[in-house]
Structure 1
Amino acid sequence: MKTWHPASVLLAWASLMILAQLARGPWCGGLGLVLLGCMLAWAPARGRRLLRRVRVLLVVLFVLFVFFTPGEALLPWLGSLGPTREGLELAALHGMRLVMAVSLVALLLEHCSETRLVRGLVALARPLAPLGLSPERLGVRMLLVLRYVETPPPGGWRQLLTEHDHFPDLQLVLDKAPWGLHDFVLMALALLGLGLGLMV
């Protein structure tokens, strides 16, 4: 069974995330339904938990766009206080984009461990090393963020600003994952799809 290199998975995931935010009209609705279906099929518990966390943001998006966007009134008897057709379209667009982002995050976190995520990030950041960026330091910080999300220290994020070591057992041990031809094919397809999406 083929094992995907985490860097190729991350690159494909990032390309999908960008395409999801660029999609409009029927493309946005179709891609959104596909990603939402994938999330409900392969990461249902995590996906529902993440959607619950952004439910307030979804409501705020709906209210702001529907009631504060100029356009054709859906309820003329409410005057300027009523919703507009253009606002409803924008609310649906941006709401679906948020749902797509949540679906992609849920799928990534469900099927890619924190070690694999950090390994992929370090691999993708290696070409930037000549510019002064340390991939290992970036990996450690990413691992710290992931550990914080799972088990925040007492006192919340403000405690991270102190000099105390809240994660004394934090270690970054990354073995070299093998690259395969399928990884390069996946990355090429991801970049091709992203390029086509940017041109449309």
Structure 2
Amino acid sequence: MPKLTIHPTTCLIVWLLFLVVVQFMSGTTLVVTLLLLPALGTYVLQRGSRLIWRARWLLISMLAIFSWGIPGDPLWNGAFAPTHEGLREGLTHFGRLLLVLVAVAAFLEAMPLPELLAAMHTLLGPLRRLGLDPDRGVVRLMLVLRYVEALPRPRDWRTLVDAPATNLGEAVEVDHRPLRWPDYFVALALALAAAFYVFR
């Protein structure tokens, strides 16, 4: 009996659907989802922590903008007090962005680069009818991911200028496997579930 395996494209679609659903999470659902993050494992949390640390100023700025930028009841009596409504909205967006960053870490940790390239190639395949070349998109994605992973943390702009050039003579092989009925079933079922959650 053949082993049932899910196509990398299906995994990519599931991940994208999760990112969409995250944008509509709030309140108890958001808090419970955040509390379940340790179940993803140590490696995912470590990688997610690095992403969160790099985005710390964005997170802090977003929280401050919402807390002091949305009118409402002041949190305390004072001239520079944030509002209850603003703080609640800021914490909601703060939690959503945390989920997105950890989801990115989990996706990169779970899916090897060859499978990610194969998934993107299949997902972008229909764009050929519009005159776009998915092969170029896959190659550019590979170069960007490799550049981000290999690039040292810059101390100033000269580090970026002195970064080594990419090897332009490298050949890229992308595994092409057709989608099967379980892939369509999983993608359709989760798309319907995501639509029900968003538009309920």
TM-score between both structures, scaled by the size of structure 1: 0.85
Q: Is 2:94 the counterpart of 1:73?
A: no
Shifted more, 181-190 versus 101-110: the winner is 181-190
Q: For residue 134 of structure 2, what is the amino acid of its counterpart?
A: P
2:110 corresponds to which residue? Answer: 111
Residue 3 of structure 1: CA displacement? 2.9
- Between the aligned partners of 2:30 and 2:195, the Cα distance in structure 1 is 17
Q: Which structure has more helix as a fraction of its residues?
A: 1
* Unmatched runs of 5 consecutive residues or more in structure 2: none
Residue 192 of structure 1: CA displacement? 1.0
- Aligned 8 A contact 2:67 2:85 in 1: yes
- Between the aligned partners of 2:162 and 2:187, the Cα distance in structure 1 is 39
2:23 corresponds to which residue? Answer: 21
- Aligned 8 A contact 2:38 2:45 in 1: no
Identity of aligned residues (%): 29
Q: For residue 100 of structure 1, what is the amino acid of its counterpart?
A: L
- After superposition, residues 37-76 of structure 1 pair within 5 angstroms as 37-40=38-41, 43-76=44-77
- Between the aligned partners of 2:56 and 2:41, the Cα distance in structure 1 is 17
- Aligned 8 A contact 1:7 1:123 in 2: yes
Equivalent residue of 1:43, what SS? helix
Q: For residue 21 of structure 2, what is the amino acid of its counterpart?
A: L
Instruction: Work out which of the residue numbers 14, 23, 31 in structure 2 matches 1:12.
Output: 14
- Between the aligned partners of 2:55 and 2:177, the Cα distance in structure 1 is 34
RMSD: 2.4
Q: For residue 5 of structure 2, what is the amino acid of its counterpart?
A: T
Q: For residue 190 of structure 1, what is the amino acid of its counterpart?
A: L
Residue 156 of structure 1: CA displacement? 5.9
- Aligned 8 A contact 1:20 1:31 in 2: no
Aligned length: 194
- After superposition, residues 1-200 of structure 1 pair within 5 angstroms as 2-34=4-36, 36-40=37-41, 43-76=44-77, 78-79=78-79, 81-152=80-151, 166-168=166-168, 170-177=170-177, 179-200=179-200
The one-character-per-residue Cα deviations of 1:68-103 (angstroms, maximum 9, x if unpaired) are 321101111x13x11110111011100011001011
- Aligned 8 A contact 1:11 1:187 in 2: yes
- Between the aligned partners of 2:101 and 2:176, the Cα distance in structure 1 is 30
Residue 126 of structure 1: CA displacement? 0.8
